[in-house]
Amino acid sequence: MVFLTAQLWLRNRVTDRYWRIQEVLKHARHFRGRKNRCYRLAVRAVTRAFVNCTKARKLKKRNLRTLWINRITAASQEHGLKYSTFITNLIKVRCGCHLPVEADPFG
């Protein structure tokens, strides 16, 4: 490999095509069908998987919060309280508890 100038060498420092393809196929190994072998199909599938992964992180937080609220609601209704009154009373008392601690009955 001949380096003409440092500027040209720095401008042309993209990764080799083989390694780019291998990186995509590495992420697509667990897919079913041709999506884990054919690069053209794997690029689409990996891109979609990364997008869904990003969305799922927010959905996970939302789902956990609703689960915690449901658990606290069920526990407070056993004692004849509404969820809203239970939370407002906790705030008035200035209890330092937060949802995951309150929702876990064994924690």
Whether pLDDT at 34 is above 60:
yes
- Angle at alpha carbon of residue 67, lines to 66 and 71, rounded to 5°: 115
0.85 exceeded by pTM? no
What average pLDDT score do residues 72-91 get?
90
CB 25 within 8 A of CB 39: yes
Output the pLDDT for position 105: 64
Cα 2–chain centre separation:
44
Sign of torsion, CA 60 62 66 69? positive
Residue 33 φ/ψ region, left for φ over 0, alpha for ψ in the -120 to 50 degree band, beta for the rest: left
Q: What b/e sequence results for 59-73 when a residue is b if at least 16 CB atoms lie within 10 Å of its CB, and e otherwise?
A: eeeeeeeeebeebbb
Q: How confident is the model at residue 100 (pLDDT cuts 50, 70, 90)?
A: low
What average pLDDT score do residues 65-87 get?
91
Q: How confident is the model at residue 87 (pLDDT cuts 50, 70, 90)?
A: confident
Place of tokens 């995509």: 24
Output the pLDDT for position 90: 83
Mean pLDDT, the chain, rounded, equals 86
